[in-house]
Structure 1
Amino acid sequence: MDLHIEKLNEHHKNLSSSEKLEIQLNEFEKQLDLAIALHQQSIVFIHGVGKGVLKNEIHKKLNLKIKLNIIKSYYNDYSNLHGFGATEVFIR
């Protein structure tokens, strides 16, 4: 699931940084909830590298979901396809 703002909102140039982040995090939550409901084993979120703001916010949310036993784990390591710009979430 690509979370780059230009993939989520065609008017992204008119948005503030906080508005962009809110849209991206809402889409992250929506897609993760859908993956859980569909009993998927995993889902990959493409957040890019940039300054790491989106990745860090996603990882905070995922750490909470691990503590709440909602997901099993997540993995953000180098891949040939996305470099360090993607996180794979493993669902229970």
Structure 2
Amino acid sequence: MQVGDTVRLIDEPGQGSIVSISGTQAMVLLDGMELPYALSALVKVEFDALVDAPKNIRTKTAEDKLKEIAARNRIRQIRPVREAAYELDLHMHELLDRFDHMSKKEMLDYQMSCMRAFVAEAKQNGYKKIVLIHGVGEGILKAEICAWLDQQSKLSYHDGPYRIYGYGATEIILWR
């Protein structure tokens, strides 16, 4: 023990700080008075939970736990973004506000142009899976899409998930 240490008394209640030490005796400042005690009657206080504990300790509330979970989930969502399906709806009303002046051939050409640009963008951005929503209709757009995809390398395609898109979508898997 040394001068300045906080100590407790072994045989009686009380706590103070050592003012001076001489031999086996220590002068302890206890409740504003300096009293002599044998060093063997004192115990050094390393940590006093009532005195040294942080004042603003807060237990985690349910809201705090939900925020932590949400933060962890956000981190998980950031990593697999490229694993998620990247979609393009090729219905004309989704691509253009007005298309009543266009012939069916012009509409088909425009849809195919959008689709080709979309596939190129998905490849460039590292997506592994994309979905083209073409609808059921007469099947002309789907046939054109499949004919174009057959000419492409480093990809495969199949009908999109029925539960999500019905029969009106094609899912494309892009390879590296």
What amino acid is the match of 2:165? Answer: H
Aligned partner of 1:70 in structure 2 is 154
How many residues of Structure 1 are paired with residues of Structure 2 in the alignment?
Answer: 88
Which sections of structure 1, spanning at least 5 residues, go unmatched?
none
Distance change in 2, residues 1:38/1:77 (3 Å): closer
1:85 and 2:168 are equivalent in the alignment: yes
Q: Secondary structure at the match of 1:84?
A: coil
Q: Deviations over 1:6-62 (max 9, x none)?
A: 111111122100010011000000000000001100100000000000000000000
Distance change in 2, residues 1:64/1:7 (3 Å): same
Match among 83, 92, 111 for residue 24 of structure 1: 111
In structure 2, how many angstroms separate the alpha carbons of the residues matched to 1:45 and 1:21?
14
C-alpha displacement of 1:70: 3.2
Which sections of structure 2, spanning at least 5 residues, go unmatched?
1-87
Bigger Rg, structure 1 or 2:
2
1:32-47 alignment, distance < 5 Å = 32-47=119-134
**Higher alpha-carbon deviation: 46-55 or 4-13:** 4-13
1:53 and 2:140 are equivalent in the alignment: yes
In structure 1, how many angstroms separate the alpha carbons of the residues matched to 2:173 and 2:136?
21
Using structure 2 for the length normalisation, give the TM-score: 0.48
C-alpha displacement of 1:78: 5.5
C-alpha displacement of 1:81: 1.6
Q: Where is the strand percentage greater, Structure 1 or Structure 2?
A: 2
What amino acid is the match of 2:91? Answer: H
In structure 1, how many angstroms separate the alpha carbons of the residues matched to 2:145 and 2:112?
7
What amino acid is the match of 1:87? Answer: T
RMSD over equivalenced CA pairs, Å:
1.1
